[in-house]
Amino acid sequence: MNHEPNLGGSFPLPGSSIILRRMGYGAMQLAGPQVFGPPRDEAAAVAVLQEAIASGVNHIDTSDYYGPHVTNQIIRRALHPYPDGLTIVTKLGARRGADKSWIPARGRQDLIDGVHDNLRNLGLDRLDVVNLRMGGMLEPMEGSVEEQVTVLAELKHQGLIRHLGLSNVTTAQVAEAQAITEIVCVQNLYNVARRADDGFISHLAAQGIAYVPFFPLGGFTPLQSSALDATAASLDATPMQVALAWLLQRSPNILLIPGTSSVAHFRENLGAAALSLPPHVIADLDAIGASGQATG
């Protein structure tokens, strides 16, 4: 590729040589229904991953508990040997039950096994970034992360992990983890309607730490808002493109990982990087979170 793709600019992870384009790709939807089992169309899943790389995306978010194992195996099948500059970010902290349930898996051996599962299924000798996921399904919960972060710091020292991040955590938990090892990114629930982390994002930006909102488009219940619809119509864009553009303009440390199993939808998501929202539109969208006028 002879030119820098328009993916919302780039952001360097602290203490590293990694520079991520701000529009990435989240691989969760490559697994089957309820993020369990194989996809209905594996060829389509492979095509989305290859389209992401061809479009200049250099940041893929995944986890070995997606499937479980399925998503990482598809990533390996589609992209291995991996192109230079591609950063694969994975998560630990859960496992899947046979009934498709999500079960916490944060004990010492759980984390060690999780790292080796990710290495094996991705076909890597070392993981670029590992996020420790804490809390409940959507929201953080108070509590110490010292035990878990210490285990991952040991695996980092052994050379199995390059960098560590946190997911579904509080400001206090980030500070506790930072006393043990460097944290390069935080992944929490945040979108134009769910704004609890406004101050947290600014706190992380001041430290040069990336903030990666999960469910940037509402997750399993897509965002719905008359303000989004009206703005999208005025800009000849889709509401979801506007929601992503708002995030890109919210703070320079925000990196996006919208997920899809469709090449057409993936291309539509990337179009958000070309949208420039004027100040009055930003103000209207800011009001969505303040008033609770969106669903999703």
Question: Which tens digits make up the pLDDT trace of 170-209?
Answer: 999 999 999 999 999 999 999 998 999 999 999 999 999 9
For residues 217-246, average pLDDT: 87
The token duo for 151 is 């285990």
The token duo for 141 is 């919960």
Residue 16: name the closest of 118, 116, 85, 64 by CA: 85
Determine the Cα–Cα distance for residues 281 and 231; give it in Å rounded to an integer.
Answer: 7
Averaged confidence pLDDT in the chain: 94
pLDDT given for residue 41 in this prediction: 96
Give 88's DSSP letter. Answer: E
pTM of the model: 0.95
Cα 126 to the center of its chain, rounded Å? 19
The token duo for 98 is 């046979």
Determine the Cα–Cα distance for residues 197 and 210; give it in Å rounded to an integer.
Answer: 13
How do residues 107-120 score in pLDDT, each as one tens digit? 999 999 999 999 99
The domain 17-187 is classified under which CATH number: 3.20.20.100, 3.30.70.260, 1.10.1740.10, 3.30.70.270? 3.20.20.100
On the CB side of 100, CA atoms within 13 Å amount to 8
Q: How many other CB atoms are there within 10 angstroms of residue 115's CB atom? A: 23
Is 80 exceeded by the pLDDT of residue 256?
A: yes
> Dihedral (C-alpha) 116, 122, 128, 131: value to the nearest 10 degrees?
-60
How do residues 74-117 score in pLDDT, each as one tens digit? 999 999 999 999 999 999 999 999 999 999 999 999 999 999 99
Tracing tokens 């090892």 back to the chain, one arrives at: 181
Tracing tokens 């890109």 back to the chain, one arrives at: 248
pLDDT given for residue 290 in this prediction: 64
Express as a percent the part of the chain with pLDDT over 70: 95
Backbone angles phi, psi at 228, to 5 degrees: -60, -45
Catalytic residues: 66
Q: Where are the domains of the chain?
A: 17-187
How do residues 53-73 score in pLDDT, each as one tens digit? 999 999 999 999 999 999 999
